[in-house]
Chains A and B, each alone.
Chain A
Amino acid sequence: MWTIAKLTFKEIVSKRIFLITMMMTAVFLILYGVAIHYAVKDWKSFGASTVDQMMQQQLFSSQLLSIGLYFSSFIVALLSILSSVSAIASEIDSHQIDTWLMRPITRTQFLFGKVIGLGGLLIAYAAFLFAGIIILHQGIGGEVVSLDFSISQIVSASATYMLQPLVLVTLGVMLSSRMTTLNAGIVLIILYGSAFIGGFVEQIGTIMEKGALVNIGIISSLIFPVDAMYRKMTVFLFDTADNPVSLAQQGMFASASAPNNVMILYTIMYGCIALAVAIILFRKRDV
């Protein structure tokens, strides 16, 4: 299992797409840093003396951070989708899997190896991006836009943030153990897109107080809880969801409609079930 995990990890790192992703990530972080730098510069010249202005500053600051985190979670999701949908299917297509599976390992061990390798790499990447965004925001932003976070806020927010690639990987591997790479990719992108749109619909529904829209968002979160985890992460990070003036409730990239804590448990169960189904499908499959 660990041999397969190591090979999976090294394989992705050796691919050109990973190098390109890392370069683009660096470009994204630089741009984000530059944006924060100029935002702070403009804000300094404007100044913030009244309570209203200070609240505006806090809101503006949390929006900047939310945008950075939202886009970074989108990048992590794309990398998770692209790397997981081919994990099993492409190896079956190319018959590379034959010489691995004829070794004295079970298919479950092989599949776990794939999930651990992919999940490990994507968690490391997500942690790097999360830390990068927070450091840039707090560091470059300085006193003007930096927000007060406790360690527990950062830990719970980053853990929830890292749940997203894990769920995507388990579902991607599940689809890959049954479908071709292309089909699995299409299904997963549609699911991710639905969750993405559903998340926005839910936020709009909450702001407009339209129950039907909120329900659509909830259903999309139940079908694929990735966006819900992003929203939950913002609640953990800004930690004031019950507060009527909570920063977590402000703007489209935050969480006007806060997911319940049970949603985290649901997401973990979702990933576990996807993994169990993947094992059952892969055991039955002729390779």
Chain B
Amino acid sequence: MNVMEAKGLTKTYNGQAGIRNVSLEIEEGMVYGFLGPNGAGKSTFVRTMLGLLNPTSGEGKILGKPIGTPESREKVGYLPELFRYPDWLTGRKLLESHAELCKVPIRERKKRIDEVVDLVGMTGRDKEKIKGYSKGMSQRIGLACALINDPKLIFLDEPTSALDPIGRKDVRDLMLHLKDQGKTIFLNSHLLNEVESVCDHVSIVHKSELIVQGKWRELMMVEAQVEIMSSAKAESTKLDFPDFVRNVERKEAVNGRSKALYQLKREEDIPRLVDFLANHKLPIYEVTPVIPHLEDVFMHWVNEKERRYVDHR
């Protein structure tokens, strides 16, 4: 079942920036990373889905209900990037107000508040006024707010932006915990390692457009890399590599054996490369596929998009 879907969703500001023509479907239980640099339009997309911004065109649904309707937000949690809560309230009063708005039954409220306060590590501090909270504590109470109604879909917009390394790890663990509970998480982030560590599906957004989306393992295979250990002879041998080899980077020799990192077009080119080296009488001792960094994947797709754009023109 699709927990969330968007079809050609566009939100522009007087024809400028925003987000254009986004279509995606998110299944239940998925942790979906919406990845892109600052200003790419990630928050605009989330705010449009939540009805905070009116879409310029296109449509979207959350839990089968059209976006912009109160019904679509019944089982949704949201931690905004620019979180700000009424500082005259205590953390607990804030949670009580949100529980009331979400119609959490009165009998269950106290228990539920205690649960989420504990979950975000704010036990003992929830009765203090928000005025006295640090940025990290405000973000934690914001997370508690997002979870107060036991949501099925949780939008987290840069959820670790104000947290220290321990706090970031806590949030990552929390996301994994929520994933184990079968919650669907839509994670907006420009922090690649954050997305890499928790998301199973990723969309890459750049300059208001969704460039690519899919299982991130598949997106990672855009550029196969393999490290091959051969004899020292390989360094002195001049080879005319076939087209599928994009680049060869020599590494430091180990125990008299040479090592090189080969960038190939596709994963299927690895055995072809091994055949090619063997045909040139180079002994092979070790073949290690290298998983590229998400930064490289991100840049690959951005460059790919720009290349296609130039070709098209």
Contact = CB atoms under 8 A, between A and B. Distances in A.
Interface string A134-166: 000000000000000000000000000000000
Most chain A CB within a 10 A radius of its CB, from B82, B97, B103, B145:
B97
A284 B54 contact: yes
Contacts of A7: 86, 97
B52 A287 contact: yes
Contacts of A103: 70, 73, 98, 101-102
B269 interface: no
B45 interface: no
Interface in B9-49: 47
Interface in B55-107: 70-71, 73-74, 76, 78, 80, 82-86, 88, 97-98, 100-103
A240 to B, nearest CB: 48
Contact of A99 (B71, B80, B100): B80
A284 B71 CA distance: 19
Contacts of B74: 104
A80 B51 CA distance: 30
A96 B84 contact: yes
Contacts, number: 63
B97 A95 contact: no
Interface residues of B, number: 27
A16 to B, nearest CB: 10
A286 B82 CA distance: 16
A268 B142 CA distance: 40
Nearest to B54: A286
A94 B87 CA distance: 12
Contacts of A14: 88
Contacts of B73: 102-104
A51 interface: no
A106 interface: yes
A98 B84 CA distance: 9
Those 3 A-B pairs whose CB atoms lie nearest each other, nearest first? A104-B70, A103-B101, A14-B88
